[in-house]
């Protein structure tokens, strides 16, 4: 997940390249491309058809069958005529007043939004939602509720802010971060549209990308955010459209159709410009760049430093693009970054959150897994998985970093022994701050993924490499995600604050205090007495139950501290992301149930309610109750959007007039996957980037190599 909303976003207004020759024209004229390849167009084509050179993924397309050859191809033409007729009728409806809701015409957003509003009233009255006649949980119905919420959010954006970078649902408008905008929300959300099989919406988004997404714009953009959201979104759309042809099928994406490689061509054009950020004296990318000139730009704050997350979370995207196109320079740029980072040989694999692009050296000693640090650690294990285990160097770096996290950052609360990840703002030898950003809730899911490689726990335990360390990692992941869940339960709305603090002993109890140090003995004499186990015997659950829920004096509630400045909720995805991984891996339905409670809280408290065309929000964003009938329920009310909260710890919650793009790109996507069948988008075949964009795992082949070794390989404790 992105560590911050970017300050600058790309905007494009020049004419679009011809789709059929766009990729090659950009490739042969871009200075970065020419410098790296040194080959003429004919030579490069010749190389790709020569048996001695391995074909890249997107040029030989080995992993999917053309949808044009599917038995249902003829039916699609008939369906196209039907779609044209329907489109005409919809256009007529729109012209006659559908957009403004006149003459009693009900728009789709009102229908879905009305159903969601009615559903909220039902579960407020205690009516059980999402269960069948036998009182068994109907996960398909619950998944549909997520899809409904997504459609309401998307249709609100389409109607009020189409093509804009920022959506303000209370004001019913959109804005651009830079002049002209770039459709930030469209590209970031595209693969979610595909996963939910929303063909019409995908077609509209694809058309916008084809006609309006341009890069010849004199604007400064954030390297990291543009890579994970824009480049990642385009690459994921390419992967899903080619690998899952029955999801939101479009003829334009069929192999051989004009423009069938639209997404990869747009991705390549963007990536060529992003390469300018890597042209620093050290090879560490600058925090920003000018999209038109491809000139890297140091950060205007933080003494010009890039963040560790910015530098270390570009690898999945550029490596997948390299595999697709066969262009090794994408791969080499991001591998060099990892070599420079690791060459600093930071203690126990834990890195300060700032690194200088001019020297390649870290700045300061602030170590944390929240903002500016988080996704570097996430990408260590995911790089290992992305290349199907062919880069063991990243597994080694991950294992070292995780051991460092356990030693220096994992601590326990005073009353309920909740496990949390603290911060060391002054370095590893200074005091731990018992503070945890919601962003850190990515960690339990990543730990579980690293332990099993995406296999279910039952299968992983039967594998030859299973050991006590991996069992401990699963327990740690369970304890951490429980703490994340506790931060949701701790507020009035049931939605987590942006940051939580914890009540701890003085000094805080660390993992070695509870379970013993490297030699198996507790560091302060407490651990062995409390647990009766030494470290070499593994760890176990120590946290107390999160009950009673309603007792303000319960042990766990005493431990969770929410400060006034941290009570906002931005609809972030990290907690449900980890629930998704924990459910897929442990197969424990409890994580689905926790996710369901989170989802209901989002629907209830972040909804923008409207009645008879009047926005029921006052000037500061606080909701006003709509008019009700005799049953206490407004028959004309509907939800038309969802938005962020300024205060999640009060009823009614204050609202912020902003729907983050990750609400659509990540949060609702992970809810949808959590409630889907376990074999939908298998974890063993894919990796998710930090913006929840989906890439395939692949073999490196002969074209690519790590190209460097660690100065000191970690041997374990």
Clarify whether 374 is annotated catalytic: yes
3-state per-residue secondary structure call for 569-610:
ECCCCHHHHHHHHHHHHHCCHHHHHHHHHHHHHHHHHHEEEE
Q: Is the pLDDT of residue 283 over 60?
A: yes
Per-residue pLDDT at 81: 59
In the chain the first and final C-alpha atoms are separated, in Å, by 30
Looking at residue 85, its pLDDT comes to 61
Q: What would you report as the CA-atom Rg of the chain, rounded to the nearest whole angstrom?
A: 25
Among 225, 437, 512, 691, the active-site one is: 225
* Cis peptide bond upstream of 357, omega within 30: no
What is the model's pLDDT at position 78? 54
CA-to-CA distance for 310 and 356, rounded, in angstroms? Answer: 11
What does the pLDDT average to over 192-220? 95
Annotated active-site residue in 148, 265, 272, 574: 574
Give the C-alpha separation, 1 to 110, whole Å. Answer: 31
Per-residue pLDDT, 74 = 39
Contact by Cβ (8 Å): 16, 214:
yes
Query: Is residue 473's pLDDT more than 50?
Result: yes
User: Which range is least confidently modeled, 18-32, 164-178, 621-635, 697-711?
Assistant: 18-32
pLDDT number for residue 107: 58
**CA atoms of 473 and 475, how far apart (whole Å):** 5
What is the rounded CA–CA span in Å between residue 577 and residue 677?
Answer: 16
Grouping H, G, I as helix, E, B as strand and the rest as coil, residue 252 is helix
Distance CA 382, CA 446 (A): 9
Q: Is 111 helix (H, G, I), strand (E, B) or coil?
A: helix
Tell me what percent of the chain is helix, strand and coil, each rounded to the nearest 5.
50, 10, 40
Pick the range with the lowest mean pLDDT from 52-66, 242-256, 426-440, 651-665.
52-66
Least confident window among 101-105, 221-225, 311-315, 510-514: 101-105
User: In whole angstroms, what is the distance from residue 257 CA to residue 259 CA?
Assistant: 6
pLDDT digits (tens, 9 = 90+) for 524-560: 444 443 444 444 578 999 999 999 888 888 999 999 9
Report the pLDDT value the prediction gives residue 253, as an integer from 0 to 100. Answer: 85
Confidence bin at 647 (pLDDT 50/70/90)? very high
Q: Among 25-39, 175-189, 275-289, which stretch is predicted with the lowest mean pLDDT?
A: 25-39
User: Exposed, middle or buried: residue 614 (CB in 10 Å: 0-12, 13-18, 19+)?
Assistant: exposed
Using a pLDDT cut of 70, give the percent of the chain over it.
77
With beta carbons less than 8 A apart as the criterion, state whether 421 and 436 touch: yes
pLDDT at position 551: 86
Please check the confidence at residue 440 and state whether its pLDDT lies above 50. yes
- What is the arithmetic mean of pLDDT over 702-716? 95
How many angstroms separate the CA atoms of 227 and 684, rounded? 24
Look at residues 294, 256, 262 and name the one whose alpha carbon lies nearest to residue 278.
294
Q: How confident is the model at residue 112 (pLDDT cuts 50, 70, 90)?
A: confident
Contact indicator for 238, 261 with CB cutoff of 8 Å? yes
Q: According to the model, what pLDDT value does residue 26 have?
A: 39
Q: Which pTM was predicted?
A: 0.84
Annotated catalytic residue within 335, 378, 498, 566: 498
Distance CA 316, CA 646 (A): 33
At 612 the pLDDT is: 59
What does the pLDDT look like over 162-198, one tens digit per residue? 999 999 999 999 999 877 788 899 999 999 999 999 9
- Cβ of 257: how many Cβ atoms within 10 Å? 15
CA–CA distance from 273 to each of 39, 326, 373 (Å)? 19, 18, 25
- CA angle, 637 then 643 then 645, to 5°: 115
Q: Is 48:213 a contact under the CB 8 Å cutoff?
A: no
Cα separation, 130 vs 140, in Å, equals 8
Q: Are 434 and 422 in contact (CB under 8 A)?
A: yes
Q: Which residue has the higher pLDDT, 38 or 705?
A: 705
Dig out the tokens for 187 from the structure.
């590209």
Report the C-alpha gap between 192 and 625 in whole angstroms: 32
- Mean pLDDT for the stretch of residues 439-462: 99
Flag whether 690 is marked binding: yes
Mean pLDDT comparison of 110-114, 144-148, 552-556, 626-630, highest-scoring range: 144-148
Distance, in Å, from the CA atom of 675 to the CA atom of 595, rounded to the nearest integer, reads 9
* Active-site entry in 374, 473, 479, 512: 374
| Mean pLDDT over the full length of the chain | 84
Strands (E), 438-571: 499-502, 509-510, 560-561
Residue 584 has pLDDT above 70, yes or no: yes
Confidence (pLDDT) at 633: 43
Average pLDDT over residues 241-260: 89
Q: What is the mean pLDDT of residues 276-298?
A: 97
Q: What distance in Å separates the CA atoms of residue 130 and residue 120, rounded to the nearest whole number?
A: 12
CB 446 within 8 A of CB 381: yes
**pLDDT at residue 231, rounded to an integer:** 98
CB 453 within 8 A of CB 460: yes
Residue 182 near residue 193, CB atoms below 8 Å: no
Domains in the chain (CATH in brackets) are 178-515+540-589 (1.50.10.10)
Q: To 5 degrees, how large is the angle CA 202–CA 685–CA 392?
A: 130
SS3 220: strand
Is pLDDT of 637 > 90?
A: no
Does residue 574 carry a catalytic annotation?
yes
pLDDT digits (tens, 9 = 90+) for 342-399: 999 999 999 999 999 999 999 999 999 999 999 999 999 999 999 999 999 999 999 9
More confident of the two residues 206 and 258: 206
From CA 493, how far away is CA 504, in angstroms rounded?
A: 25
SS3 169: coil
Residues whose CB falls within 8 Å of the CB of residue 458, separated by 6 or more in sequence, listed in order: 587
């Amino acid at each position: 997940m992105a560590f911050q909303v970017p300050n600058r976003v790309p905007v494009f207004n020049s004419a679009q390249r011809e789709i059929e020759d766009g990729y090659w024209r950009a490739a042969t004229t871009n200075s970065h491309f020419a410098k790296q390849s040194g080959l003429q167009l004919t030579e490069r084509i010749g190389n790709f058809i020569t048996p001695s050179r391995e074909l890249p993924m997107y040029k030989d397309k080995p992993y999917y069958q053309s949808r044009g050859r599917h038995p249902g191809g003829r039916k699609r033409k008939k369906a196209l005529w039907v779609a044209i007729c329907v489109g005409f009728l919809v256009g007529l409806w729109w012209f006659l007043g559908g957009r403004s809701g006149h003459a009693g015409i009900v728009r789709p957003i009102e229908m879905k939004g009305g159903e969601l509003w009615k559903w909220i009233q039902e579960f407020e009255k205690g009516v059980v939602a999402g269960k069948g006649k036998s009182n068994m949980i109907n996960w398909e119905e619950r998944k549909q509720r997520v899809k409904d919420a997504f459609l309401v959010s998307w249709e609100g954006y389409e109607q009020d802010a189409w093509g804009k970078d920022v959506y303000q649902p209370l004001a019913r408008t959109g804005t651009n971060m830079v002049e002209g905008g770039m459709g930030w929300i469209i590209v970031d959300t595209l693969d979610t549209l595909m996963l939910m099989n929303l063909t019409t919406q995908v077609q509209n988004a694809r058309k916008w990308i084809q006609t309006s997404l341009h890069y010849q714009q004199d604007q400064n953009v954030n390297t990291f955010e543009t890579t994970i959201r824009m480049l990642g979104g385009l690459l994921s759309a390419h992967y899903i459209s080619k690998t899952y042809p029955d999801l939101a099928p479009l003829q334009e994406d069929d192999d051989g159709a004009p423009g069938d490689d639209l997404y990869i061509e747009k991705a390549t054009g963007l990536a060529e410009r992003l390469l300018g950020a890597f042209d620093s004296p050290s090879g560490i990318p600058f925090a920003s760049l000018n999209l038109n000139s491809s000139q890297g730009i140091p950060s205007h704050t933080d003494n010009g430093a890039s963040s560790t997350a910015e530098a270390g979370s570009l690898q999945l995207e550029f490596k997948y693009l390299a595999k697709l196109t066969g262009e090794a320079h994408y791969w080499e740029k991001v591998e060099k970054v990892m070599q420079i980072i690791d060459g600093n040989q930071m203690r126990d694999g834990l890195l300060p959150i700032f690194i200088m692009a001019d020297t390649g050296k870290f700045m300061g000693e602030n170590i944390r897994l929240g903002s500016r640090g988080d996704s570097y650690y996430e990408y260590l294990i995911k790089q290992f998985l992305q290349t199907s285990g062919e880069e063991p160097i990243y597994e080694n770096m991950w294992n070292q970093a995780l051991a460092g996290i356990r030693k220096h950052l994992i601590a326990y609360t005073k009353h309920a022994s909740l496990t949390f990840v603290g911060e060391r703002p002054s370095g590893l030898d200074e005091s731990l701050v018992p503070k945890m950003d919601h962003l850190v809730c990515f960690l339990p899911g990543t730990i579980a993924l690293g332990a099993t490689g995406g296999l279910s726990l039952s299968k992983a335990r039967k594998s030859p490499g299973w050991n006590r360390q991996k069992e401990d990692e699963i327990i740690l992941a369970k304890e951490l995600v429980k703490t994340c869940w506790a931060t949701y339960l701790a507020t009035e709305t049931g939605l987590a604050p942006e940051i939580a603090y914890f009540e701890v002993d003085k000094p805080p109890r660390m993992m070695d205090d509870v379970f013993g140090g490297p030699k198996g003995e507790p560091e302060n004499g407490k651990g062995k007495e409390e647990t009766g186990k030494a470290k070499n015997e593994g760890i176990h659950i120590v946290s107390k139950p999160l009950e009673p829920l309603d007792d303000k004096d319960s042990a766990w509630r005493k431990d969770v501290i929410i400060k006034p400045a941290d009570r906002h909720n931005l609809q972030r995805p990290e907690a449900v992301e980890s629930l998704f991984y924990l459910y897929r891996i442990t197969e424990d339905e409890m994580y689905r149930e926790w996710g369901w409670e989170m989802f209901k809280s989002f629907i209830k408290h972040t909804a923008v309610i409207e009645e008879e065309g009047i926005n029921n929000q006052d000037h500061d964003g606080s909701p006003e109750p709509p008019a009700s009938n005799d049953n206490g329920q407004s028959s004309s009310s509907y939800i038309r959007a969802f938005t962020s909260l300024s205060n999640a710890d009060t009823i009614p919650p204050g609202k912020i007039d902003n729907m983050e793009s990750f609400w659509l790109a990540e949060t609702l996507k992970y809810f949808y996957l959590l409630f889907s069948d376990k074999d939908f988008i298998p974890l063993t075949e894919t990796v998710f980037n930090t913006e929840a964009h989906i890439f395939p795992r692949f073999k490196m082949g002969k074209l690519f190599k790590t190209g460097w070794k660690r100065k000191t390989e970690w041997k374990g404790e």
